[in-house]
Amino acid sequence: MAHGCAAAFCIASRRCGDVDKLESAYETFLATATGGLDRLGTVVRLTEGDRSGLFYLRNTCCLYYTSAEQVKCSSCCLDSVEDRIANYRRVLADGVVPH
């Protein structure tokens, strides 16, 4: 649930949304949400060239290994924060919108 909520803000930020407003709106959402969503991951703002966007860093596993595809998500906590941020920077530089 935490990833899905964060993903809405993150994807919108990379689809020409106002990154400042979306970042602020996400912080407001977290401050008013119940259930400790803030403990499950962090949204970071990255800039690469002239592009900026929000990206989610998951703190808990999505249990990818239980799915038939066994494909890790882009925010997989089994990868280091540094590796995830490097991947997100490549995505931002290439202008694609991962989930």
Domain ranges, ordered by start, for the chain: 2-94
Q: For residue 26, is pLDDT > 90?
A: yes
In sequence order, which residues have a C-beta less than 8 Å from that of residue 21 and are 6 or more positions away? none
CA–CA distance, 22 with 32 (Å, rounded to integer): 15
Q: For residue 93, is pLDDT > 70?
A: yes
Q: For residue range 42-92, what is the model confidence (pLDDT) as tens digits?
A: 999 999 988 999 999 999 887 877 888 878 887 888 899 999 999 999 988
Q: For residue 1, is pLDDT > 90?
A: no
pTM greater than 0.95 (yes/no):
no
